[in-house]
């Protein structure tokens, strides 16, 4: 039986939710607003909220100074590339853990997760040296590889929880029907797990898109994604809030739009398959 | 078409031995039912034959070829699962055609065979539906269609009717028997329901704790059970077991008598008792008679029996139809 909630309670909770929501979103909103101000208005005190001279000059300056589309394209290649490569490795891995678990499967899963607890900076120097010697510094290939490795534990874990929801008998039926391991994964498991794979893909694209540690440390000019593009505006030559804001807005816009259209999938992804 | 032979087939899960070593031969075209209480190893045995589990020791032969290490896909057997295990993302046609697709047949050939199978199973109107849009009985038919379409060497059924309601179950039972008569293919059927076993089987294999208790035709098991377990398991209502005093008179440790082989009378007889609950089925009546504080005997009598709860009755077992067992529970013949 549903508990009756009084109108007053409802109003209170709605107001609290809105306040928290706005408080979290406010910095992003402020960044977007600032990107349309002149540098002078951007640091004016008291700041004006909506009533200022709206201008696009920051965007044109930013585009003149650095090639937005190169960084945008780098971000797309790196985030999609690392996610797709990760999925190709993780689907068979999650298959084996979900459907033919051994004595140590649980331990392997925990161990994989524990690698995420290592501070990345702890392995920066070895990886930097490896990249230098392999000629992978400032290449998109290098970043795809390193981000795949960083996000692989999460991808395997997410897929594992989704695969566990699929009844094993269906895969056995496929085996009886003459499917080999490859056919079983391609024709039965993957199509059945499409919602789960989609959430995993989305979440990991976003994680890779926002990843700043490796992308900043392993790139210079050629392979730098949007994170490096933003960072280049918090420069030692002085703070240019408006231009920094314009760069940030341009960097977050694609992922914000992607996130908006895939909210449902994302929520499912973030709850790790717990909510059906 | 094929004969299946098991030689000393053993299955262990870790330290637990589920099947300690079974020898069994199944003739070409036979309808064999594995029956036994839950946990007796019947499903495991079926999965070993299917190849879904690896045997720990022993040999499985199909048509004289050793398939012990062969992948399930290569054994040429088709299986119908308890949960039907249909592919939820494929239409009925896609489900039925999947084994043919895996066998690499052409689109036209697949289409033709799927239509033929759908026609025999009354599924023609549902070919484009997804499994979730079908009733339980229809799903069952799709699972059977998927099994018959590629003309396998043999069929394996793992309690396929237990998810259906009673009326549908009786129908499907008939349809499966009909299917076997048509196809004449070897079928192995696992169930815990001895009625299904009795009605469908050419040969019943009674399993208990991983052992075969007895193999035989339904009537052999019914009339000549080898031991107490089979005697008690086959037949409904169950066989009555009479106490040591009566058994000793007949030179046995236990004597069993089926409910239909006891005469019940209100005037005279061998054993005195009090009538308990009477179950009227119309054609028959099952009377549960208390003969001692802790012993009840079930008697099958005519449908028009007028016995009432509490009536004093006399029971007389038919001496020619007694089943005698020794102290180890083995039948004395």
pLDDT for B103 equals 92
Q: Which of B242, B197, B215, B78 is nearest to B149 (CA)?
A: B78
User: A126-184 pLDDT, tens per residue?
Assistant: 999 999 999 988 899 999 999 999 899 999 999 998 898 888 899 999 999 999 889 99
What is the model's pTM? Answer: 0.78
User: Closest Cα to residue A209, out of A273, A150, A157?
Assistant: A150
According to the model, what pLDDT value does residue B134 have?
A: 92
Q: State the average pLDDT over residues B14-23.
A: 91
Give the residue-averaged pLDDT of B199-223: 94
A182 contact B CB<8A: no
Contacts of B14 in chain A (CB under 8 A): none
Tokens encoding B233 = 């398991």
Question: What ipTM score was computed for the predicted complex, to two decimals?
Answer: 0.84
CA distance from start to end of chain A = 21
Chain A residue numbers with beta carbons less than 8 Å from the beta carbon of B103 are 178
Residue A275 has pLDDT above 60, yes or no: no
Interval B56-81: pLDDT, tens? 999 999 998 999 999 998 899 999 99
Domains and CATH numbers, chain B: 4-232 (3.40.50.300), 238-325 (2.40.50.140)
Among candidate residues A240, A103, A191, A83, the one with its CA nearest the CA of residue A147:
A83
Query: To the nearest whole percent, how much of chain B has pLDDT over 90?
Result: 70
B89 in A contact zone (CB under 8 Å): yes
Q: Taking residues A249-253, what's their average pLDDT?
A: 87
Distance CA A167, CA B201 (A): 30
Contact A178 B87 (CB under 8 A): no
The two beta strands, B154-158 and B77-80, are parallel
Q: Is-contact A65 A247, C-beta < 8 A?
A: no
Domains with residue ranges and CATH for chain A? 7-59 (no CATH), 67-232 (1.10.3720.10)
- Residue B17 makes CB contacts below 8 A (sequence gap 6+) with B10, B11, B210
Asked if residues A242 and A34 have their Cβ atoms less than 8 Å apart, the reply is yes
How many other CB atoms are there within 10 angstroms of residue B149's CB atom?
Answer: 23
Per cent of chain B over pLDDT 70 is 100
Q: Give the closest of B52, B85, B102 to A183, CB-based.
A: B102
Residue B81 sits at the chain A interface (C-beta within 8 Å) = yes
What pLDDT score does B249 carry? 86
Q: Is B252 on the interface with A (CB under 8 A)?
A: no
Beta carbons of A167 and B72 less than 8 Å apart:
no
Structure tokens at B234: 């086959």
- Which chain A residues are Cβ-neighbours of B67 within 8 angstroms? none
- Choose the closest CB to B102 out of A172, A179, A192: A179
**Residues B144, B79: Cα–Cα separation, whole Å:** 8
Which band of pLDDT confidence, cut at 50, 70 and 90, is reported for residue B35? very high
Which residues of chain B from 110 to 169 reach within 8 Å of chain A, CB to CB?
Answer: 146, 150, 156
Smallest CA–CA distance, residue B327 to chain A, in Å, is 43
Least Cα separation, residue A16 to chain B (angstroms): 42
**Position of tokens 């702890």?**
A122
Out of A170, A177, A191, the one facing B99 most closely (by C-beta) is A177
pLDDT bin (cut points 50, 70, 90) of residue A270 is low
Q: What pLDDT, in 10s, does the model give residues A3-55?
A: 667 888 999 999 999 999 999 999 989 889 888 888 877 777 777 777 777 88
Which chain B residue is nearest to residue A170, measuring alpha carbons? Answer: B85
Cα–Cα nearest to A80, from A199, A200, A205, A198? A205
**Most B-contacting residue of A169, A174, A176, A186 (CB-CB within 10 A), to test interface:** A176
Q: What pLDDT is attached to residue A236?
A: 63
Task: State yes or no: pLDDT of A276 exceeds 90.
Answer: no
Helix, coil or strand: residue B87: coil
Residues 16-45 (A) with a CB less than 8 A from some CB of B: none
How do residues A51-68 score in pLDDT, each as one tens digit? 777 888 888 888 888 888
The C-alpha R_g of chain A, in whole angstroms, comes to: 23
- Predicted confidence band at A271 (pLDDT cuts at 50, 70, 90)? low
Closest in B85, B99, B156 to A170, CB measured: B85
pLDDT grade for A274, boundaries at 50, 70 and 90: very low
């Amino acid at each position: 039986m549903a508990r009756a909630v009084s109108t007053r309670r409802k109003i209170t909770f709605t107001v609290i939710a809105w306040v928290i929501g706005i408080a979290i979103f406010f910095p992003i909103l402020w960044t977007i607003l600032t990107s349309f101000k002149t540098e002078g208005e951007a640091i004016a005190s008291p700041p004006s909220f909506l009533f200022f001279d709206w201008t696009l000059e920051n965007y044109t300056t930013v585009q003149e100074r650095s090639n937005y589309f190169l960084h945008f394209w780098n971000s797309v290649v790196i985030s999609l590339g690392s996610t797709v490569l990760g999925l190709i490795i993780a689907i068979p891995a999650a298959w084996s853990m979900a459907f033919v678990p051994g004595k140590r499967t649980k331990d392997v899963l925990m161990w994989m997760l524990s690698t995420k607890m290592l501070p990345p900076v702890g392995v920066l120097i070895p990886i930097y040296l490896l990249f230098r010697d392999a000629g992978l510094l400032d290449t998109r290939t290098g970043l795809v590889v390193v981000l795949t490795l960083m996000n692989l534990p999460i991808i395997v874990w997410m897929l594992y929880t989704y695969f566990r929801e699929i009844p094993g008998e269906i895969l056995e039926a496929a085996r009886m029907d003459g499917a080999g391991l490859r056919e079983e994964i391609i024709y039965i498991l993957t199509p059945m797990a499409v919602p789960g794979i989609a959430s995993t893909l989305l979440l990991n694209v976003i994680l890779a898109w926002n990843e700043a540690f490796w992308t900043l440390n392993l790139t210079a000019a050629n392979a730098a994604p949007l994170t490096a593009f933003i960072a280049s505006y918090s420069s030692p030559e002085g703070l240019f809030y408006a231009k920094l804001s314009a760069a940030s807005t341009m960097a977050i816009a694609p992922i914000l739009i992607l996130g908006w259209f895939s909210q449902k999938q994302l929520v499912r992804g973030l709850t790790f398959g717990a909510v059906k | 078409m094929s004969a299946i032979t098991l030689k000393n087939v053993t299955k262990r899960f870790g330290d637990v031995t589920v099947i300690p070593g079974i020898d069994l031969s199944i003739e070409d075209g036979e309808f064999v039912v594995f029956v036994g209480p839950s946990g007796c190893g019947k499903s495991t045995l079926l999965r070993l034959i299917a190849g879904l589990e690896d045997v720990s020791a022993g040999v499985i032969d199909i048509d004289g070829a050793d398939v012990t290490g062969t992948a399930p896909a290569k054994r040429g057997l088709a299986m119908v699962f308890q949960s039907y295990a249909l592919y939820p993302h494929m239409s009925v046609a896609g489900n039925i055609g999947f084994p043919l697709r895996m066998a690499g047949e052409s689109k036209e050939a697949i289409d033709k065979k799927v239509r033929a199978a759908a026609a025999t199973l009354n599924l023609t109107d549902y070919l484009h539906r997804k499994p979730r849009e079908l009733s339980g009985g229809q799903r069952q038919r799709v699972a059977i269609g998927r099994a018959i379409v590629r003309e396998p060497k043999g069929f394996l059924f793992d309690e396929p009717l237990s998810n259906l309601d009673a009326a549908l179950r009786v129908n499907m039972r008939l349809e499966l028997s009909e299917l076997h008569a048509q196809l004449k293919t070897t079928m192995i059927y696992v169930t815990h329901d001895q009625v299904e076993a009795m009605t469908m089987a050419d040969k019943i294999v009674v399993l208990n704790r991983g052992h075969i208790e007895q193999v035989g035709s339904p009537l052999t098991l019914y009339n000549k059970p080898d031991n107490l377990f089979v005697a008690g398991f086959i037949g409904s209502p169950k066989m009555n077991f009479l106490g040591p005093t009566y058994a000793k008179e007949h030179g046995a440790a236990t004597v069993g008598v089926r409910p239909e082989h006891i005469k019940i009378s209100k005037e005279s007889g061998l054993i005195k008792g009090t009538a308990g609950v009477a179950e009227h089925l119309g054609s028959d009546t099952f009377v549960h008679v208390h003969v001692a504080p802790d012993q009840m005997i079930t008697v099958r009598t005519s449908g028009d029996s007028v016995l009432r709860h509490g009536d004093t009755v006399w029971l007389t077992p038919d001496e020619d139809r007694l089943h005698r067992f020794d102290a180890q529970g083995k039948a004395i013949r």
